[in-house]
Amino acid sequence: MATSVKMSSKHQIVVPKEAREALGLEAGDRLVVTVREDGVLEMEREPEDLVEELGGLLAGEAAGTGAAPAPAVGSGPAAERAAAGLWTELLDG
């Protein structure tokens, strides 16, 4: 799907309806925007509290084993992208 969009004087663009529907985006959702070396702009939905969710999973696994809970992990978009990459690597094996 390719759609042309125009940037406003405030440097804003409207995410086309087809793209919003494909990503399941709603008002207030956050996007991760990446500019590739070849000039292509990529946008993906930012995971909601992914770092906290992963930290909670690790702490839950440690519960009852006598192991210390997982240490706190950094927060913010960069930390969430890094965690998402690790999660993807784990799932993809």
Please state, rounded to an integer, the average pLDDT across all residues of the chain.
Answer: 73
Q: How many angstroms separate the CA atoms of 22 and 3, rounded?
A: 13
Please tell me the predicted confidence (pLDDT) of residue 86.
56
Asked whether residue 87 carries a pLDDT value surpassing 60, the answer given is no
Average pLDDT over residues 28-57: 80
**Domains observed in the chain:** 1-46 (2.10.260.10), 50-92 (no CATH)
Q: What is the mean pLDDT of residues 42-68?
A: 63
When comparing pLDDT for 65 and 11, which is higher?
A: 11
